[in-house]
Amino acid sequence: MKYSIIILIKKIVRKILSISKRKLLKASNLFLAIIDKQVLKKDNYWIFPVYFIGEGHLSDNMLAIFEAVKNDPKIKKIILTKNIPIDVTGKNIKVLPMRSLRAVYYLLCSNLILVQHSVWLDLKQSYFQINKPLKRNIINLWHGIPIKHIGSQNINDPMPWRKYPRVVNEMERTYIITSSDTDLQNMASAFNDIPKMNFWITGLPRNDFLLMAEQKLPQIFKNEINLLKKILGGKKMIIYAPTYHEKNVGGEHYSFARDELDKLNNFLMVNDMMLGVRYHPYLPPDNYSYLFDYSNITDMSSEIISDIRVLIRDAAIVITDYSSLFIDACYINKKCISFAYDLNHYKTTQRGFFYSLEDVFPGPVCRSFEELMISLSKTISDCDEYNQLNKTKELFFKYIDLDNTNRVVNKIKMVCHINS
């Protein structure tokens, strides 16, 4: 009896402390919001939060923008980290934990915050939750060209973050980059509270890394290219990188049977190839380690190769389902296969699509494992036709060059009144 009372008391105390902490955070955020209205913003303070999924890397479009301005002394680059330190070089750079008072100071003073999803998610760990981007610009670099429905177009759960009290008002001074006229139309429909003139057709900065000469790549790319070469040991690589599936409505990753894996591994051995498996970091399968029991199937998750562009550059074939990864692969003319085993369910129940997959995918769309193996055999022997490739590129890319990053940086400097 004595011990059960003690346990109950402990539970009550923890509950009180939890409530007090939430109230304290809410009060402090209200206080900071009042201060935020008074603080003069500095045009040359640019905030770079690390990616919100995982340990927190500076990657993707965010990395490309940082690399372009890291040696510009006029711009103060403030990198906000999560769980791991960030090692960078350049001029006028601050690297700070996102959950720190110094980070709050720079957030209050900055006129520019770069995000890859939303202020709500990208700065979720910060002590200062910016509910309204008063007197500052938000540049949403996004994280790909959407094929699946997003934002208000998401049939499963449109704009889920807007249900929370910490809602983000990203409108008049929020800008979103896009890749083509069609991409702009879709992004504008997904984020229909943002003025259409605030959507820029610049191309995605990360695509510069696909065309860039190896010696000009960031050091982390060079390191990972060398690591990849060691892993592959001279073999050609096929990437298998599906998107995430909505578990809450019955979506599931494909579960490979052992006999299917035997067939796949034999195919890889005969053709002197490796299959690199990379599930989406947001909702990977609960258990997929059994895939690596096979000699020619290996783990290529973000913990091993942080940026998927390293894999795309090297890949002989890219297999996905509905990930916009295939669009990145098209940028450098890679052969792609869609393993769309749950296409109807994904279309009607999980997310839905902006396009008919069969109309925009540049290669075969396979509905079963047997179809996948047939397409793989045809693709490596160059028997499969990829007539759709040019049409896909015209739809998704206004520019195919090495200037995507420069176009975005120049737009940002115009918004922030910074001379090049």
Domain-embedded: residue 369: yes
What pLDDT is stored for residue 193 in this prediction?
Answer: 84
What pLDDT is stored for residue 85 in this prediction?
Answer: 83
Q: Are both 196 and 233 inside the same structural domain? A: no
Domain-embedded: residue 10: no
- Measured CA to CA in angstroms, residue 51 lies from 224, 295, 304, 355, 417 at distances of 18, 32, 16, 27, 27
* Structural domain boundaries, residue 372: 213-396
Kindly report the backbone phi and psi dihedral angles of residue 48, in degrees, each rounded to the nearest multiple of 5, phi listed first: -120, 90
Q: For 369-378, which contacts have Cβ atoms below 8 Å and span 24 or more sequence positions?
A: 369/256, 369/260, 369/341, 372/319, 372/337, 372/339, 373/263, 373/264, 373/267, 375/337, 376/238, 376/267, 376/317, 376/337, 377/267
Q: Evaluate if residue 406 carries a pLDDT over 60.
A: yes
CATH code of residue 285: 3.40.50.12580
What pLDDT is stored for residue 218 in this prediction?
Answer: 95
- Contact by Cβ (8 Å): 315, 232: no
Chain Cα centroid distance, residue 39: 32
- Read off the pLDDT of residues 164-187 as tens digits, 9 standing for 90 and up: 433 344 467 899 999 999 999 999
Chain Cα centroid distance, residue 158: 19
Chain Cα centroid distance, residue 250: 23
Q: Evaluate if residue 150 carries a pLDDT over 60.
A: yes
Mean local confidence (pLDDT), 224-229: 97
Q: Are both 260 and 189 inside the same structural domain? A: no
**What's the structural domain count of the chain?**
2
Most distant pair of Cα atoms in the chain: their distance? 77
What pLDDT is stored for residue 384 in this prediction?
Answer: 60
Q: Are both 350 and 274 inside the same structural domain? A: yes
- Contact by Cβ (8 Å): 75, 44: yes
Mean local confidence (pLDDT), 12-40: 69
- Read off the pLDDT of residues 112-144 as tens digits, 9 standing for 90 and up: 999 998 888 898 888 777 765 567 899 999 989
- Which of 17-31, 54-68, 278-292, 298-312 is least confident? 17-31
Q: Evaluate if residue 111 carries a pLDDT over 60.
A: yes
Domain-embedded: residue 275: yes
What pLDDT is stored for residue 167 in this prediction?
Answer: 39
Domain-embedded: residue 112: yes
Q: Are both 276 and 165 inside the same structural domain? A: no
- Position 163 confidence tier, pLDDT thresholds 50, 70, 90: very low
Domain-embedded: residue 3: no
What pLDDT is stored for residue 15 in this prediction?
Answer: 57
Q: Are both 197 and 253 inside the same structural domain? A: no
pTM: 0.88
DSSP H or E segment with residue 69: helix 60-69
- Contact by Cβ (8 Å): 283, 307: no
What pLDDT is stored for residue 2 in this prediction?
Answer: 43
Domain-embedded: residue 31: yes
Burial class (CB in 10 A: 0-12, 13-18, 19+), 365: middle
Q: Are both 198 and 307 inside the same structural domain? A: no
How many CB atoms are closer than 10 A to CB 415?
Answer: 17
Residue 105 or residue 31, greater confidence: 105
**Total residues belonging to the chain:** 420
Share of the chain above pLDDT 70, in %: 87
Cα gap 171→150, rounded to integer Å? 17
Enumerate the β-bridge partners of residue 96: 80
Record the tokens describing residue 98, joined without a space: 């996102």
Domain-embedded: residue 12: no
Chain Cα centroid distance, residue 233: 29
Share of the chain above pLDDT 90, in %: 62
Q: Are both 84 and 117 inside the same structural domain? A: yes
Residue 154 or residue 248, greater confidence: 248
- Read off the pLDDT of residues 305-350 as tens digits, 9 standing for 90 and up: 999 999 999 999 999 999 999 999 999 999 999 999 999 999 988 8
Domain-embedded: residue 15: no
Q: Are both 137 and 168 inside the same structural domain? A: yes
Q: Are both 350 and 250 inside the same structural domain? A: yes
Q: Are both 154 and 269 inside the same structural domain? A: no
Please provide the average confidence, as pLDDT, over all residues in the chain.
87
Q: Which residue has the tokens 């990203």?
A: 170
- Contact by Cβ (8 Å): 127, 28: yes
CATH code of residue 184: 3.40.50.11820
Q: Are both 230 and 335 inside the same structural domain? A: yes
Q: Are both 243 and 292 inside the same structural domain? A: yes
